[in-house]
Amino acid sequence: MNFKENISLKSYNTFGIDVNAKRFISIDSVYQLQQLLKIEKDIFLISGGSNMLLTKDIEKLVVHIDIKGISIDRENHNDIYLTVNAGENWHDFVLWCVSENYGGVENLSLIPGNVGTCPIQNIGAYGVEVKDTISKVEALEIETGKLVQFSNKECNFGYRNSIFKNEVKGKYIIISVSFKLTKNNHNLNSSYGAIETELASKNITKPTLKDISEAVITIRESKLPDPKKIGNSGSFFKNPVIAKSQFLELQKEYPNVPSYIVSDTEIKVPAGWLIEQAGFKGKRYGEFGVHEKQALVLVNYGNASGAEIYQLAEKIKESIFNKFGISLEIEVNIIA
Ligand code: EPU
């Protein structure tokens, strides 16, 4: 096994935070991972590094999951069942599905990160969540090295949430994700406002998977920073769900507040809107700040530390609470 010492994790996290890994190993097979777990269980996992904020050097062994490969399990006239190994890049997988005409993940184009971490936060965008396509998740139990399968139901998916962020957090290493995608009669999801507008601007009335994927890419590129150019982790906070009574009060003061109905008694309010109202949008503090086109995204212009970005997040949370009485919840994993 090829252990490395004292390497920078800057290129392993999309925030581009420069922290040191005392010891590091890249793993490209399940067998290798099982062998490693026999000698070391107190590990720090990193995959696409797209949903974490590193605030300090990592003393534990950093294990980079780089297991690649896609296999077709079975198919019929309408559906195809695929198993994708954890280290595959998410967006490359989406583009491959679109080129093969496999439907279900096209709305999730251009989301950073790897396939193995997509179930953890149940990635979602433009009216689709990855839970809609996942049939099962396979993971290694760190304690025993045993392979365990989680059915879609067992994953307990919710909005940016799953069992992997709760009950079994830190206990398993996801090694592959299985998907059920469509080959025919795709269930296209093009009704999200921005997608409709984008398709209409191109006079597309009967969109294909590729049209939707391209529309999503255009929309994302127009408001979300490319992590290869400006470090970021996508939405830093979750969109808060508040009581309808609180929402009605808010609406009195801000008649244009955007909202999504969650239930008869609960309303989701975009955190990006709240942060913009509080005056943070586009604010730059030296090496870090709040993205100019989407206030929900905190950015590293180059040499920020994770601690600085975390302090900014806390300042934003406090300001939103003081102004609106709403508690924002951080969506990104803070490694402290
Ligand atoms: N808005 C503002 N100011 C801002 C940002 C947004 O007023 O700076 C308003 C917009 O005008 C719009 C509303 O807030 O009325 C919603 O904005 P948007 O459509 O950009 O979506 P979002 O709620 O901010 C969520 C996801 C994104 C996902 C988009 C599209 C969360 C935490 N974020 O953002 O996911 O791409 O919807 O579906 O749910 C991610 O998780 O990393 C991510 C990027």
Which residues have a catalytic role annotated?
160, 235, 331
Q: Show me where the domains of the chain are located.
A: 4-65, 72-182, 231-335
Round to whole Å and give the CA distance between 207 and 203.
Answer: 10
Closest atom of ligand 1 to 234 CA is 42
Domain 72-182 part of CATH 3.60.15.10: no
Cα–Cα distance measured from residue 254 to residue 249, given in angstroms and rounded to the nearest whole number? 9
- What SS3 state is found at 136? strand
Beta carbons of 269 and 247 less than 8 angstroms apart: yes
Nearest to 34 by CA among 141, 145, 138, 149: 145
CATH top-level class for 231-335?
A: alpha beta
Ligand 1: atom nearest CA of 281 is: 8
Q: Could you say which of 3.30.9.10, 3.40.1110.10, 3.60.15.10, 3.30.43.10 is the CATH number of the domain covering 4-65? A: 3.30.43.10
146-155's contacts with Cβ under 8 Å and 24+ in sequence apart are 147/30, 147/175, 148/172, 155/119, 155/131
Residue with tokens 């595959």: 88
User: Do 176 and 138 touch, CB atoms closer than 8 A?
Assistant: yes
- Kindly give the distance from the C-alpha atom of residue 44 to the centroid of ligand 1, in angstroms, as a whole number: 30
Q: Using the mean position of ligand 1's atoms as its centre, give its distance from the Cα of residue 286 in Å.
A: 25
The answer to whether the CB of 80 falls within 8 A of the CB of 124 is: no
Comparing CA positions, the residue from 12, 217, 206, 189 lying closest to residue 94 is: 217
Per-residue pLDDT of 110-162, as tens digits, reads 999 999 999 999 999 999 999 999 999 999 999 999 999 999 999 999 999 99
pLDDT score of 306 more than 90: yes
In this structure, the residue with its CA closest to atom 36 of ligand 1 is 125
- Please give the pLDDT value at position 336: 94
Alpha helices for 202-295 (secondary structure H): 209-223, 244-253, 271-277
Distance 208 CA to ligand 1 centre (A): 24
| Helices and strands, number each (H, E), in the chain | 7, 20
- pLDDT value of position 102: 98
Checking if the pLDDT of 1 tops 90, the result is no
Nearest CA to ligand 1 atom 27: 125
Alpha-carbon span 312 to 299, nearest angstrom: 10
Model confidence at 24, pLDDT cuts 50, 70, 90, reads: very high
What percent of the chain lies above the pLDDT cut of 70? 100
What's the predicted TM-score (pTM) here? 0.96
* pLDDT of 250 over the 90 cut: yes
